[in-house]
Structure 1
Amino acid sequence: MDLTSALLAGPRAQRAFALKVCLASGWRLRIQDEAALCLVTPMRGEVTVRFDDGETARVGVGEVVLVRGNDHYDTYDDPDAPQLAAIDPNGQCFAPDGTLLKDQLSLGVRTWGDDPDGQSVFVTASYAETNEVGSRLMLALPRLLVISADRLEWPVVSMLQAEMIRTAPGQDVVIDRLLDLLLMGVLRVWAQDSTHEAPGWAGGGDDEIVRAALAAIHHNPAEAWTVASLARFTGVSRAVLARRFADAVGEPPMAYLTRWRIQLAADLLVEESSTLQRVAREVGYASPFGLSAAFKRIKGMSPQQFRDRARAERAARDAQTG
C-alpha cells in the first residue's frame, strides 16, 4: 500500500468519531481535543476555523476542510459570539464555567448542538491518532487544507451527509468507510495539486520513474530490493534512478526503503497477535535479529521496548475514555 492508504489501514488510524452538528446563529466552539486529523464539511451556513496564532480558514457548503495536528483552535460562525462549549482531549464537552455537558446538547443519534433547525449545520469527523506509517505524511500536510467537494473523485460528501442521520444495521461501519473515502479523496487532491506543494515521496511528483519505484517499495516491502533491482524494474540505470529518486524524495532509495520497513514494523508490533519473527518476515528482514538492529538504529529503542510503550499508552488512553 502507499502512504495515503497506509495512513488509514494501521491499527492506530481507525475508529474515527463523527457527528452532525446543528447550531443556532451566533456560536463559537473551543476545540482542544488534540486530534491528529479532523474533517469538517458544512451542510448549511459557513464554518470558520481559526488557530490561536491567527491562521484561519473559512469553509462553505460544498467544501471540506482538513485540520491537522494537535494545536488548539476556535471554530465559529461569529468570532465575537460567546463560547458555547469546549472539547477536551478525552472528547468531553464543557460549558465555559467548567460544567461537564453530557446530554444537554444531544439532538439524537450522531447529532449534537443547540438547534436541530439551526443556521449552521455541518458534519465533523476526527481521527484521534494515526499510525507510524502515517506520521510522515502527517508532518507534510498543511495545518489547514480547504478543497471543493467537486474535486473529489466520488460523491462522498453528499453520501456521508445522508448516511449520518440513518440508523440502518451496520451504519457505524458504513460511516467509518465513508469517512475513510473522504479523507483519502482530500489527500489525493492535495498530493496531485502542485499549489499545495505535496512532497515527492507522497506520490513521486511528476516523475514517472520515481512513482514506479515508490509503488514497488510500498506494495512489496518484503522484496529484497536493491538500487539495481529497482532500476531494472523502472527501466533505467542505477545512476539515473538514484539521482532522480533522491531529487524527488529527499533521500536515497535504500534509506527510504529502510524507513518504510521500520514504520510498517512499528504498526505491526502494536497488534496483539504479532510476533517479532512474523513482523520481520512481512517487512523484508531475514531474521528478528536483523529487524531489531535496524529498528533500534532508526527508532532508538528495541522492538520490544516500542511495543511495551505503545501498548501501555493505549491502555492509559482507554482507561481515561472508558
Structure 2
Amino acid sequence: MDVVSGLLDGPRARGAFLLRSHLTAPWGMRIEDESPLTIVPVLRGSAWLGPGEPGTAVAEEHPGTRVEAGDVVLLRGPDHYVVTDSPTTVPTVVVGPNPQDCRAVDGGPSPMTVFGVRSWGNDLDGETVLLTGTYPMDGAVGRRLLRMLPHRVVLRRGEIDATVVDLLAREVVQDLPGQESVLDRLLDLLLISCLRTWISRPDAPGRFRADTDHAVGHALRLLHDEPARPWSVELLAREVGLSRAAFSRRFTALVGEPPMAYLTGWRLDLAADLLLADDGATVASVARAVGYSTPFALSAAFKRVRGISPAEHRRRAA
C-alpha cells in the first residue's frame, strides 16, 4: 500500500455530501459541519477562505486565502471555517453538520435558495460558483493519516487536471440511476489528484517523502500489507538491505517515529477499524489479524494507547 492508497483507505467516499453554490456578492458563510475532510473547487469567480471571521483574533492570527477559478482547496476538519466574497465580508449564513441545518446567523431562515439538484445560492447567475464535497468518514486509519495533512491545502489553477473537476461539476447536478456512486468515485479521483500534487511539493511532510525512499518506502509497504507478521527492526532491516542501526535512523528521520512505534500505531488503528467493520469479529480474531498473539495482549495495548478497551471502543461507536 503506497502513501496515497493509505490516505484513501479510510476516507473513501461513501454517500459523500456534494453541493454546487451560485453566489453574487456580498455573500458569506460560516461552515460548522465539522466534516473530517472537505474539497472545494472554485468553478467560476473567486472567494476568500479562512479559519475566522473578519475582525476576530483568529482571523488576525491566521489570515485567510484568496482562491480563484481553477483552484482547489482541501480542508481538514473538524475545525470551523468561513468562506466569503472578500476578507471584509461578515458571514450571514451558518451551515451546520446536518445538510438541512442551514440558517441565517441571527437564527432566522436561510437567505439562500435551492435551485435544483444539489444546487443552491443567492443568485443562479452569480459571478462565483463553488463546488463543495465532504467526506463523512470516521475510520481510525483514515484519521491517523489525515492528521498528517495541514488544515488547509490550496492547489492553484494548472496544478490539478481540470478534466476531473469539470466532470464532477457536471455530474453533481444530475439525478440518474447510480448517481451517488458516480459522485463518490469522482470525488475520490479528484482527491487522489490533489494528494499526488501536494505530495510532490518540496514542502510536503517527510512522511510522504518517505514513501519514495527505496528502503523506508519498502518497509512501510511491508508493514501496511502484512501487519500480522512478527516484525522486528532486525527483520525489516534485512528485508530492505540495510544494517539495523542505519535502517532505524533512516526510518525515524523520514517518518518521524521509530519503526516499532509506527507499527504499534498502525496495528491499533487497524484493530479499531476491524472491530467496527464486522459485528461478528471478536477481540481474539482481530488480535490475530493485526499481529497480537492473544486478545489480552491487544486489549492491554489498546487501553494503554487509547485509554479504553476494545469492547468499550465498540460500544461507544455503536
Q: Which of the five TM-score ranges fits, normalised by the shorter chain?
A: 0.7 to 0.9
1:106 equivalent in alignment to 2:86:
no
The residue number in structure 1 matching 2:175 is: 167
Q: SS of the counterpart of 2:198?
A: helix
**Which whole-Å CA distance do the structure 2 matches of 1:153 and 1:254 have between them?**
38
Q: Secondary structure at the match of 1:151?
A: coil
**Counterpart in 2 of 1:222?**
228
Does the CA contact (< 8 Å) of 1:8 and 1:14 recur in 2?
A: no
CA contact (8 A) 2:13 2:185 kept: no
2:68 aligns with one of 60, 64, 68: 60
Of 135-144 and 37-46, the range deviating more from structure 2:
135-144
Distance 1:304 1:239 in 2: 38
Structure 1 position 214, deviation (Å) = 0.9
TM-score by length of 2: 0.88
In 2, distance between residues paired with 1:117 and 1:127? Answer: 28
User: In the superposition, relative to structure 1, how do residues 170 and 13 fare at CA in structure 2: closer, same or farther (>3 Å)?
Assistant: closer
CA deviation after TM superposition for structure 1 residue 138, in Å: 2.7
Where structure 1 has 5 or more consecutive residues not aligned to the other structure, the ranges are: 312-322
1:50 aligns with 2:50: yes
Q: Is 2:193 the partner of 1:193?
A: no
CA distance in 1 between partners of 2:206 and 2:80 (Å) = 26
Percent identity between matched residues is: 44
Moved more, 156-165 or 1-10: 1-10
Find the aligned partners of 2:71 and 2:133 in 1 and give their Cα distance. Answer: 14
Verify the 8 A CA contact 2:20 2:132 in the aligned structure 1.
yes
- Alpha-carbon distance between aligned partners in 2 of 1:231 and 1:56, rounded to the nearest angstrom: 45
| Partner in structure 2 of residue 255 of structure 1 | 261
Deviates more, 1:164-173 or 1:5-14: 5-14
Corresponding residue of 1:39? 39
The Cα of 1:169 is off from its aligned counterpart by 1.4
**Structure 2 counterpart of 1:59, which letter?**
V
Please name the residue that 1:181 is paired with.
189
Is the contact made by 1:39 and 1:64 (CA closer than 8 Å) also made in structure 2?
yes
Indicate how the Cα distance of structure 1 residues 157 and 119 shifts in structure 2: closer, same or farther if over 3 A, else same: same
CA distance in 1, matches of 2:195, 2:262: 21
For residues 228 and 81 of structure 1, what CA distance do their matches in structure 2 show? Answer: 58
- Write the distance in 1 (CA, Å) between the matches of 2:11 and 2:296: 24
- Which residue does the alignment assign to 1:288? 295
AA matched with 1:172: E
Contact 1:48 / 1:76 at 8 angstroms: preserved in 2?
Answer: yes
Change (3 A) 1:149 1:265: farther
TM-score by length of 1: 0.87
Q: What's the secondary structure of 1:255's corresponding residue?
A: helix
Q: Does 1:86 align with 2:94?
A: yes
Rounded to whole Å, the distance in 1 between the matches of 2:87 and 2:109 is: 23
Equivalents in 1 of 2:227, 2:158: separation in Å? Answer: 35
Contact 1:4 1:137 (C-alpha < 8 Å) held by counterparts: no
Which whole-Å deviations, capped at 9, do the CAs of 1:56-109 have from their partners, x for residues lacking one? 11111111011122332221113444644111233410013312449x621111
CA–CA separation in structure 2 for the residues paired with 1:267 and 1:182: 25
Letter in 1 for 2:133: A
Does structure 2 conserve the Cα–Cα contact (< 8 Å) formed by 1:140 and 1:199?
Answer: no
* Displacement of 1:7: 4.1
The Cα shift of 1:206 comes to 5.5
- In 1, are the aligned partners of 2:70 and 2:158 still within 8 Å (CA)? yes
Q: Which runs of 4+ in 1 moved over 6 A?
A: none
What letter matches 1:293 in structure 2? A
Amino acid at match of 1:19: L
Where does structure 2 lack aligned partners over 5 or more consecutive residues? 53-57
User: CA, structure 1 residues 137+149, in 2 after alignment: closer, same or farther (shift >3 Å)?
Assistant: farther
Cα distance in 1, alignment partners of residues 12 and 183 from structure 2: 18
Q: Report the alpha carbon displacement of residue 38 of structure 1 after superposing the two structures with TM.
A: 1.4
Of 262, 270, 274, 1:268 maps to 274
Contact (CA 8 Å) 1:4, 1:134: kept in 2 or not?
no
Contact between 2:13 and 2:184, CA under 8 Å: does it hold in 1? no
